[in-house]
């Protein structure tokens, strides 16, 4: 039975160091929630607290409205894939996967059936009788997944379950997890570093940074309307470019900006945002994604710079520009013109103001493009 999860102002510290600093969050029954965030931000810790493996320093954890802080992991009936796999070294692949069923006293025949099914799904049938020490990294990870999915828990907790798989297997596994979720409708909390996974699997994505939630929302929402510079920069590859705004001006209650590096006679960039939004002090930043940029001739372009690097990925080619007002190189997705661009070229950058994001001095988004 899918469970609803609720986290109320959860804190966690390790020997005085605050790791989770007040996380509140509700996960609806059958929801697929993806947790992303930089390395060390506390994702695994959060997952382990939900599982009951780590003590909650303060705050309440509720399953279906009931406080479970003190429940035993077993009682919470969850399936979990550990980031470190944590396979039982003395058991074969099949035994590892079937262990929880055995504990649940499922009859042997039925158990074998379920284990075989899971192994087939995970393309592990051949390794049925291998010990974990005889498996490759990806094979171990799949066994760990098998162990979690073989029974039907209230909720699944996945800690980077696909990180060691190759692209095609990863797509398959991703679909498999998705299909599983479609079928079982369990509640899922899923940690990943893979944005494609996050975007495709999630009902909602939670972005965590330093133990604090920075944004919760549907995948495309996060991509298209990041609430702050952190989320904007974290979601999307290559990263959104941030351009410093030199000057903001009001024109009929609306905002127009001039970017650092634009010379005097370039026209102001008009944004359909009320000017009051940027009343705060400090520099304002404009953000723009690679796919919304175009390269032009340097003359008459919004900004002019040089190509620092070109990445040819096959399907796409990205140019990375050194620009005066940018904090980092600015990524531009190239189209047909890809083959003509080379490192060192002097080029112009052009983008659609409609697609630009604007962040105030505190990094809070004051404008996001309309859908």
Partner 1 sequence: MSVLSTGRHQSVSLRFALYALMLLLALVFVFPFLFMLTASFRTNEQIFAHSGSIGAFVPTGELTTANYAYVLGNGNILHFFLNSVIITTLTVGLGLIVNSLAAFSLARLQWRGREAVASLLVVLLVIPFEAISVPLMLLVAHLPGLGFEAGRLVLTRSWLNTLYVQILPFVANAFSIYLFYQFFRSIPKDFDEAAYIDGATPLQVYRHVIVPSSKPVFATVSILQGLAMWNQYLWPVITVPGESARPLMVGMQQFFGHTTEWGNVMAYATIITVPVLAAFVIFQRWFVRSVIGSGVKG
Partner 2 sequence: MTQSRKRAYGRRIALLSSGPALFGLTLFLIIPFLLAFALTFTDQRLVATDSGRFVGWRNYERLLSISYVVQDPQPGVQGKPAFARVRDVTRADPVHRGFRPFSDFSWGQKRVTILAKDPVFLESLLNTFGFALMVVPLQCAMALALALLVNAGLRGQTFLRAVYFSPVVMSMVVVSIVWTFLFDRDLGSINKLLSLLSLGTIGPVNWLGGRATAMPAIALMSAWQGAGFQMLIFLAGLQGISQELYDAARIDGATAWQRFWNVTIPGLRQTIAFVLVVTAIAALGLFTQVDVMTQGGPQNGTSTVMFHAIQRGVREENIAYGSTVAVVYFAIITLLILAQQALQRRWSK
Ligand X SMILES: Nc1ncnc2c1ncn2[C@@H]1O[C@H](COP(=O)(O)OP(=O)(O)OP(=O)(O)O)[C@@H](O)[C@H]1O
The values of phi and psi at residue 150, to 5°, are -65, -30
Planar angle of CA 228, 234, 237, nearest 5 degrees = 130
Q: Minimal distance in Å, beta carbon 212 to its own copies?
A: 16
- Pick the stretch among 108-116, 117-125, 132-140, 337-345 that binds partner 1 (CB under 8 A): 132-140
Does residue 219 touch partner 2 according to CB under 8 A? no
Q: Of 152, 156, 87, whose CA–CA distance to 118 is shortest?
A: 152
151 contacts 159 by C-beta, under 8 angstroms: no
Q: Which stretch binds partner 2 (CB under 8 A): 66-74, 120-128, 308-316, 332-340?
A: 66-74
Stretch that binds Mg ion, among 36-44, 110-118, 279-287, 324-332 (CB under 5 A): 36-44
Site for ligand X, rule CB under 6 A: 14, 19, 37, 39-45, 83, 134-139, 164
Beta bridge mates, 167? none
Query: What is d(CA 161, CA 34) in angstroms, rounded to the nearest whole number?
Result: 12
According to CB under 8 A, which one of 82, 234, 351, 359 is a site residue for partner 2?
Answer: 82
Which whole-number Å values give the CA distances from 102 to 81, 82, 94, 147, 255, in the listed order? 18, 20, 11, 12, 65
Selection from Mg ion, its own copies, partner 2, none that 165 binds (CB < 5 to 8 A by kind) is its own copies
Q: Where are the beta strands (DSSP E) in 225-364?
A: 241-251, 254-259, 269-274, 284-288, 293-296, 303-312, 317-322, 330-334, 346-351, 357-359
When asked if residue 87 is in the footprint of partner 1 (CB under 8 A), the reply is yes
Would you tell me which residues interact with partner 1 (CB under 8 A)?
48, 51-53, 55, 70-74, 77-80, 82-91, 99-100, 103-104, 131-133, 137, 140, 147, 151
The residues of the shown chain that bind partner 2, judged by CB under 8 A, are: 48, 51-53, 70-75, 77-80, 82, 84, 86-91, 99-100, 103-104, 147
């Amino acid at each position: 039975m899918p469970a609803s999860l609720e986290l109320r102002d959860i804190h966690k510290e390790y020997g005085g160091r605050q790791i989770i600093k007040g996380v509140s969050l509700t996960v609806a029954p059958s929801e697929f929630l993806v947790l992303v965030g930089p390395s060390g931000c506390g994702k695994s810790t959060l997952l382990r607290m939900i599982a009951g493996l780590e003590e909650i320093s303060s705050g309440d954890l509720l399953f279906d409205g009931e406080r479970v802080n003190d429940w035993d992991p077993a009682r919470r009936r969850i399936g979990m894939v550990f980031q470190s796999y944590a396979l039982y070294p003395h058991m074969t692949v099949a035994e590892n996967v079937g262990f929880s069923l055995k504990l649940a006293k499922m009859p042997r025949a039925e158990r074998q059936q379920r284990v075989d099914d899971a192994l087939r799904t995970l393309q592990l049938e051949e390794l049925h009788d291998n010990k974990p020490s005889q498996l490759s990294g990806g094979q171990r990870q799949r066994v760990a997944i098998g162990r979690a999915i073989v029974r039907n828990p209230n909720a699944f907790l996945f800690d980077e379950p696909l990180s060691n798989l190759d692209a095609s297997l990863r797509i398959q596994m991703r679909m498999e997890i998705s299909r599983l979720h479609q079928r079982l409708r369990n509640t899922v909390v899923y940690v990943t570093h893979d944005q494609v996974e996050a975007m495709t699997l999630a009902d909602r994505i939670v972005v965590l940074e330093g133990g604090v939630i920075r944004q919760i929302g549907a995948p495309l929402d996060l991509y298209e309307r990041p609430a702050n510079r952190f989320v904007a920069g974290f979601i999307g590859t290559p990263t959104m470019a941030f351009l410093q705004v030199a000057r903001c001006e009001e024109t009929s209650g609306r905002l127009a900006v001039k970017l650092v590096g634009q010379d005097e006679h370039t026209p102001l960039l008009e944004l359909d945002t009320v000017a009051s939004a940027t009343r705060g002090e400090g520099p304002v930043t404009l953000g723009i994604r690679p796919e919304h940029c175009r390269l032009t001739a340097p003359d008459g372009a919004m900004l002019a710079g040089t190509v620092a690097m070109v990445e040819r990925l096959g399907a796409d080619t990205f140019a990375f520009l050194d620009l005066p007002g940018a904090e980092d190189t600015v990524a531009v997705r190239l189209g047909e013109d890809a083959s003509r661009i080379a490192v060192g070229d002097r080029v112009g950058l052009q983008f659609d103001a409609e697609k630009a994001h604007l962040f105030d001095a505190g990094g809070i988004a004051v404008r996001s493009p309309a859908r």
